[in-house]
Chain A
Amino acid sequence: MHNTGDVKVPIGPQHPALKEPESFLLTLRGEKITAASVKIGYNHRGIEKACEGRTYIQDLYLIERICGICSHSHSTAFAQAVEEIAGIEIPARAKYIRTIVAELERVHSHLLWLGVAGHEIGFDTLLMYTWRDREVVMDILAQLTGNRVNYGMNTIGGVRRDIKAEQIPQVLKGVDTLEERTKYYIKIAGEEPTLINRLSKVGMLSYEDAIRMGAVGPTARASGVQRDVRKDDPYAAYADIDFKVITHNTCDVYGRTIVRVLELMESFKIIRQLLAKLPEGSISVRAPRKIPAGEAVSRYEAPRGEDLHYVRANGTDKPDRVKVRAPTLANVQAVALMLEDRYLADMPIVVAAIDPCFSCTDRLVSINDADHNSKNTFEWEKIHRDSIEWYKKRGIDFAKLNKTF
């Protein structure tokens, strides 16, 4: 190993710090990071193309499985876009139920993040305690929706399941337990010096940089950027609810922790308001199978930031084009900036602080053909044929793959 003083350490695609594959190539001098480069795309599954071959109802379930922890976000954003194109107005009770599940999902996601952050800095006790408390919210969600992740609550035109009156006291009891535990975690985050010292001044992203890099969600709000789709562009039932947008001004990982923990407290307030004001009525309206031609963009505040869905319909029962821009795509470009001039030991927590969900992120935009210096789009059949040839050369024959669509 030639010692020029700089060592190139590959973090990923497989690494114990990362929950999903992505590649950070760090250049180290001793323990200090002098340069970092980010490469994503390892989790690309062709979901946007697969949506075009399925009906809108089937697409709901596919879009939901883009990610495990923000599944309701994607499903609601998609349903909202389709409902906008079709001109359907969903009943008020459906809006409230969608929002209740959305806030419960936010609670779940932030508690999971607290545990992951603890694990990345070696604080396994925090991981065990927060994930034990996460079971409370997962049990509530399993009762309300029928599943612990990938809830399947949405349908085009409303929701599929109703919240019965006898379930509400249990939900409130669970929310009370979680609020007490969250207050304990706020106390710990303010008092434990080993935690504070690991998180403070790490991953600095100034206000100007946050806006320039297009950061969204708690990553941007910790730098003082007041951006929250729930307030800027209210959807579902958020227009009727009174809540605060939490920002912090320390611009570092500690600020992001505080923002997320305080957002948990706000979510509990929102859930209580929603359950108290739940209107009567039906939970869905009949939606046509063939959606008339049109296009719509729908925005949603996922636990990680702003989630954008674009849907174009052409009058048939299958969408013409679906595009998903997940919040992590907007945040991951800031990671290279945040890692410069920090220590290697800060890398896991800086990456974890943007709450990466690379399953959400990897969508194909366009292909640059480097050999011919032109931008090219491949057709589905050509990629399909090329991939079968690639595997045939290595002795595996996929031509007999069963196609149901």
Chain B
Amino acid sequence: MLMPIFNILIFPGLLFLFFFSMLAEYYDRKLGARLQNRVGPPWFQPLADFIKLLGKEDIIPEEADNRVFKLMPVFALTSVSCAFFYIPLWGKNALYSFNGDVVVVLYLLTVPILTYFLGGWYSRSVFSMIGAVRSLTQLFAYEVPLFMTILAAALLADTWSLSKMAAFYSAHPGYWVFNILGFVIAQITLLGKLEKVPFDIPEAETEIVAGSFTEYSGRLLALFRLSINIEMVVGTSLLAAVFMPWWLDAGPIAGFIIYVLKVAALISLVSLLRSLFARLRLDQMINLCWRVFAPLAFLQVIINLILKGALFK
């Protein structure tokens, strides 16, 4: 009885996610700064930001819908945290798993974007509403390639459970090579989900102030930022679990270190891509996702289907 509570609340649950996401944000910002020849923030900066925001006043605009405004950060935080429990981190078993949890994880990762939309829409400020609409428009562009690549990997493993996928790829070392195209597409569209440059259109600071988060302040903003950080950890963990299924048989300590290294490598890629490109315009982004990424993801699905037929007669 105690073990599940410990797992959910402390490790690898909420408390662990809290500190790990702070470390992930620090690593992302520090690496981004060093790539730009700057010094970057000290290690405690994300924690200091969180504590400072907790101490500020929550200002809710008069015309905003009070209940929706306050509930959205909570929903965002809970849904990303929940998604974490179904991803096999180190070892082949997630905390909880059932057949179909790939789809559940992907949907749970979509919920935060919906909360950004609702929070921005019900703030009733011009900039928030434009940012909210852009969030959803961007969602329709990158979700399809992201879903298809992950489902392609699931197709090859012939299961809808992430833990069983990890077990399958562990048992057949070398099969992860077939998913490389999907890996590249997933990495780039992950930037869209995390709303980082070149896809940070919903939060374009120079165009619409802060997008959906314009009217948020104080504790609500702290929760939103925490959920964004946890989303980065969960997204990269998902990609690591699906596309980098190496050394899953190591013991607990070594497995944990390997997991941290995998996540660090993926966050490094995110930082690098973030510093290399300018922000795309919304119409350019939709063109890119539907004309380039979606066909390539579809190609990956077809490749995996053919391979499945060929390898498992």
Residues of A within 8 A of B (CB): 1, 7-10, 15-17, 28, 31, 118-126, 128-129, 132, 192, 194-195, 197-198, 343-348
Complex formed: what's the CA distance from A347 to B209 in Å?
Answer: 13
| Contact A120/B124 with A31-B282, A192-B278 known, Cβ cut-off 8 Å | no
| Contact A128/B36 with A122-B200, A122-B278 known, Cβ cut-off 8 Å | yes
Contact status B280-A124, CB under 8 Å: no
Contact status B209-A9, CB under 8 Å: no
Contact status A31-B278, CB under 8 Å: no
| Contact A125/B198 with A15-B209, A197-B284 known, Cβ cut-off 8 Å | no
With both beta carbons as reference points, the residue of chain A lying nearest to B200 in the complex is identified as A122
Shortest B122–chain A CB gap in Å is 12
Complex formed: what's the CA distance from A358 to B68 in Å?
Answer: 40
Contact status A347-B207, CB under 8 Å: yes
Q: Mark B275-289, 1 if CB is under 8 A from A, else 0.
A: 111111111100000
Q: List 16 A-B contacts (CB under 8 A).
A: A7-B126, A7-B130, A9-B130, A16-B205, A17-B206, A118-B278, A122-B204, A122-B206, A129-B36, A132-B37, A192-B277, A197-B281, A198-B280, A198-B284, A347-B207, A348-B207
Complex formed: what's the CA distance from A121 to B284 in Å?
Answer: 13
Contact status A119-B278, CB under 8 Å: no
Contact status B281-A343, CB under 8 Å: yes
- A124-B197, A194-B277 known; 15 new pairs, CB 8 Å cut-off, are A7-B126, A9-B127, A10-B126, A17-B206, A31-B282, A122-B206, A128-B36, A128-B37, A194-B198, A194-B279, A198-B280, A198-B281, A343-B282, A343-B283, A344-B208
With both beta carbons as reference points, the residue of chain A lying nearest to B282 in the complex is identified as A31
B208 — which chain A residues lie within 8 A by C-beta? 344
Contact status A348-B206, CB under 8 Å: yes
Contact status B282-A16, CB under 8 Å: no
Contact status B36-A344, CB under 8 Å: no
B59 — which chain A residues lie within 8 A by C-beta? none
B209 — which chain A residues lie within 8 A by C-beta? 15-16
Complex formed: what's the CA distance from A362 to B129 in Å?
Answer: 33
Complex formed: what's the CA distance from A121 to B131 in Å?
Answer: 16
Listed residue (B127, B129, B277, B282) with the most chain A CB atoms within 10 angstroms of its CB? B277
Contact status A31-B207, CB under 8 Å: no
A346 — which chain B residues lie within 8 A by C-beta? 281
Whether a CB of chain A sits under 8 angstroms from the CB of B38 is: yes
Complex formed: what's the CA distance from A238 to B203 in Å?
Answer: 47
Listed residue (A15, A194, A195) with the most chain B CB atoms within 10 angstroms of its CB? A194
Contact status A121-B279, CB under 8 Å: yes
Listed residue (A16, A344, A345) with the most chain B CB atoms within 10 angstroms of its CB? A345
Contact status A122-B197, CB under 8 Å: yes
Whether a CB of chain A sits under 8 angstroms from the CB of B177 is: no
Whether a CB of chain A sits under 8 angstroms from the CB of B238 is: no
Whether a CB of chain A sits under 8 angstroms from the CB of B71 is: no
Shortest A348–chain B CB gap in Å is 4
Q: Which of B35, B277, B282 contacts A345 (CB 8 A)?
A: B282
With both beta carbons as reference points, the residue of chain B lying nearest to A344 in the complex is identified as B207
Nearest first, the 10 A-B pairs at minimum CB distance are A122-B279, A123-B278, A128-B36, A17-B206, A194-B278, A348-B206, A345-B281, A194-B277, A121-B278, A125-B275
Complex formed: what's the CA distance from A192 to B209 in Å?
Answer: 26
A1 — which chain B residues lie within 8 A by C-beta? 124, 129
Complex formed: what's the CA distance from A128 to B37 in Å?
Answer: 8
With both beta carbons as reference points, the residue of chain A lying nearest to B277 in the complex is identified as A194
| Contact A125/B276 with A9-B130, A31-B283 known, Cβ cut-off 8 Å | yes
Complex formed: what's the CA distance from A64 to B290 in Å?
Answer: 53
Complex formed: what's the CA distance from A15 to B208 in Å?
Answer: 8
A10 — which chain B residues lie within 8 A by C-beta? 126
Whether a CB of chain A sits under 8 angstroms from the CB of B118 is: no
Complex formed: what's the CA distance from A123 to B283 in Å?
Answer: 18
Complex formed: what's the CA distance from A347 to B127 in Å?
Answer: 14
Contact status A345-B201, CB under 8 Å: yes
Contact status B126-A9, CB under 8 Å: yes
A118 — which chain B residues lie within 8 A by C-beta? 278
Shortest A203–chain B CB gap in Å is 13
B127 — which chain A residues lie within 8 A by C-beta? 9
Contact status B37-A194, CB under 8 Å: no
Contact status A120-B206, CB under 8 Å: yes
Q: Which of B36, B201, B282 contacts A124 (CB 8 A)?
A: B36
Q: Which of A9, A15, A16, A123 contacts B279 (CB 8 A)?
A: A123
Tell me the B49-96 residues at the A interface (CB within 8 Å): none
Q: Which of B207, B278, B280 contacts A17 (CB 8 A)?
A: B207
With both beta carbons as reference points, the residue of chain B lying nearest to A10 in the complex is identified as B126
Shortest B270–chain A CB gap in Å is 14
Complex formed: what's the CA distance from A16 to B206 in Å?
Answer: 5
Shortest B33–chain A CB gap in Å is 9
A17 — which chain B residues lie within 8 A by C-beta? 206-207
Complex formed: what's the CA distance from A192 to B130 in Å?
Answer: 28
With both beta carbons as reference points, the residue of chain B lying nearest to A118 in the complex is identified as B278
A123 — which chain B residues lie within 8 A by C-beta? 197, 277-279
Shortest B62–chain A CB gap in Å is 14
Tell me the B249-291 residues at the A interface (CB within 8 Å): 275-284
Q: Mark B175-208, 1 if CB is under 8 A from A, else 0.
A: 0000000000000000000000110110011111
Complex formed: what's the CA distance from A348 to B197 in Å?
Answer: 16
B277 — which chain A residues lie within 8 A by C-beta? 123, 192, 194
